[in-house]
Structures are given as structure tokens and as C-alpha cells.
Amino acid sequence: MRYTVEVNNVRCDGCANTIKTALKKAGFEDISVDLSCEPRKVTVHVEDEALLAHFRAILRKLGYPLCDEEISLGDSAALKAKSFVSCVVGKLSVNDNTA
């Protein structure tokens, strides 16, 4: 089944690259990040619905919480900082792959 969520803090291809890489390492397939709309959308193919919580946890760990999550002000700042680092890592990975 295809599962799509709306995600905060995704700004660019660097963010998308980090998300795709982390989800692929976790065993998810058919991953896409839609940067053409706001809020951004992340879609994966999930065989087992039990993996949905893991999917959501990976996104949050990277600093990309789901739009429907309630987040405190302190957590919001921490997640934005994490997403900034994830974005930079994703940009560096993209540049490494094109060199």
C-alpha cells in the first residue's frame, strides 16, 4: 500500500535526499518526496502497517515531523535545528554523488 504524509521543515533537494536515504536504509521502498506543494509530502510503499510508526519516527528523528503532530515550542526549535543539519548532510551527499 502507498502511504503519504505531510511533513514540516522540508525545504529542498538536500532535505529530500536525506529522507530518501534514511528510509531506504530502513528498508522502505518506492520513496518519493514532493517538493512542488506546501506542505511537502513524503510517500512510501508499505507492505505491513506495523511499519508506519517506524516511518513516522524516522522522519521525526531527522527533524521532519508530520504536520498533524502537536509539537511544543521547545521541540519545534529542536526539530528545526535537526532538519537544518539533515538538509546540509543531504546536500553534501548529492554533491558527492555528482562529483
Question: Three-state SS for 47?
Answer: coil
pLDDT at 99 over 50: no
> Cβ contacts of residue 22 below 8 Å, gap of 6+?
58, 62
Question: pLDDT digit string (tens) for 8-55?
Answer: 999 999 999 999 999 999 999 999 999 999 999 999 998 888 899 999
pLDDT at 72 over 90: no
CATH number of this structure's domain 2-98: 3.30.70.100
Q: Can you spell out the DSSP letters for 68-97?
A: TS---HHHHHHHHHHHHHHHHHHHHHHHHH
pLDDT at position 98 is: 47
Question: pLDDT digit string (tens) for 59-70?
Answer: 999 999 999 988
Dihedral (C-alpha) 11, 14, 20, 24: value to the nearest 10 degrees?
-150
Gap between the Cα atoms of 14 and 92, Å rounded: 8
pLDDT at 97 over 80: no
pLDDT at position 93 is: 80
Q: Does residue 87 or residue 15 have the better pLDDT?
A: 15
Residue 47 has phi, psi (to 5 degrees) of -80, -35
Domain boundaries, the chain: 2-98
Gap between the Cα atoms of 69 and 17, Å rounded: 23
